[in-house]
Structure 1
Amino acid sequence: MTAGAYRPPRDRVWFLRSRAYAVFVARELTSVFVAWTIAYLLLLIAAVTGGTLQEFAVLAARPWMIALNVLALAATTFHAVTFLNLAPKATVVRLDGWRVPDFMIQGGNHTAWLLVSAVLAWVVLR
C-alpha cells in the first residue's frame, strides 16, 4: 500500500470566520442579482420596442417577480455601496502632493451616484 499525498480537510465556510471576508463573498454573490437586473431591463427594452409591453407588464406584476426584483434591488444597492466604499483603497488621488482623504473620495462617489439616480428618476417619472 502506497501512501498518498496529505490533503488537509477543506473548510467550506472559511469566509465566515472574518467579517471582511464575509462581506467580500456577499458582494461577489450579489453580482448574480446585478446580472438579473440587467437582463430584466433588457427584457423591458425588448418589450417596449417589440410591442409586447402589455405581456411584460402582466409578468412583472406577478408576486414572485415583484419579490425577486425587490431582492435584486436590495442586493444591487449593497453591491454598489460596498463597491463605492472600496474606491479609496484602489485609487489614490493627490492634489499638489496632498493625498485626498478616503471620506472625500467615498463622499464624491456616493454623491455622484445619488445625482445620477435622481436625474434618471426625474426622466423616468415625469
Structure 2
Amino acid sequence: MTGDTRADAYRPRRDRLWFTRSRGYTVFVLRELTSVFVAWSIVFLLMLVDAVLGGSLPEFAALAARPWMIALNVVALAATVFHAVTFLNLAPKATVVRLDGRRVPAWMIQGGNHTAWALVSLLIAYVVLRS
C-alpha cells in the first residue's frame, strides 16, 4: 500500500559529508576508517607468524619487499599511529580516575597512556632490533 501521504512526499536530502562540518566529527570518522589499516596490520603480522612457523619465510620476505607492499605498510603504520594517538587522547573522557577523592587531571591520564605506549614500543623495538 503506497499512498501519497505527507510522510511519503517528504524525503530529506542526505548529506554524505556531514562529518566535514566539524573537526571533531572529521577526526572521529578518520579514526574509524583507520581501523581498516589496523586490521591489515594484524593480518600482515599473522601472515608473518604463519611464514615463520610454516618455513616459508623467504617467500614472505619477497612479498613484503615489493614496493606496493612497502607503500601499503607505510600507510598502515601512519594510520595505526593516528588511530592509537586519537584513541589514547579519548581515555580521560571515558575513564574517571579518582585519587584521594579528587579526579585525576586529563593530561596525567593521557601522559601515562602515551608514556606506557612509548615504553612498550621501545621494548619491542629493542627485542626485534638487537639481533
Please state which band the TM-score falls in when normalised by the shorter chain.
over 0.9
Using structure 2 for the length normalisation, give the TM-score. 0.94
Partner Cα distance (2:35, 2:9) in 1: 37
Structure 1 unaligned residues grouped into runs of 5+: none
The one-letter code of the counterpart of 1:36 is W
Partner Cα distance (2:94, 2:22) in 1: 21
- Which residue in the other structure is 1:2 paired with? 4
Per-residue CA deviations over 1:32-62 (Å, capped at 9, x if unaligned) read: 0000000000000000000000000000000
1:75 is aligned to 2:61: no
The one-letter code of the counterpart of 2:115 is T
Q: How does 1:1-126 map to 2 (within 5 A)?
A: 2-3=4-5, 4-126=8-130
Structure 2 unaligned residues grouped into runs of 5+: none
The one-letter code of the counterpart of 1:34 is V
Q: CA RMSD in A?
A: 0.9
Using structure 1 for the length normalisation, give the TM-score. 0.97
**Number of residues of Structure 1 aligned to a counterpart in Structure 2:** 126
The one-letter code of the counterpart of 2:22 is S
Once the 2 structures are TM-superposed, how far is the Cα of residue 96 of structure 1 from its aligned partner?
Answer: 1.1
Find the structure with the greater CA-based Rg: 2
Once the 2 structures are TM-superposed, how far is the Cα of residue 98 of structure 1 from its aligned partner?
Answer: 1.3
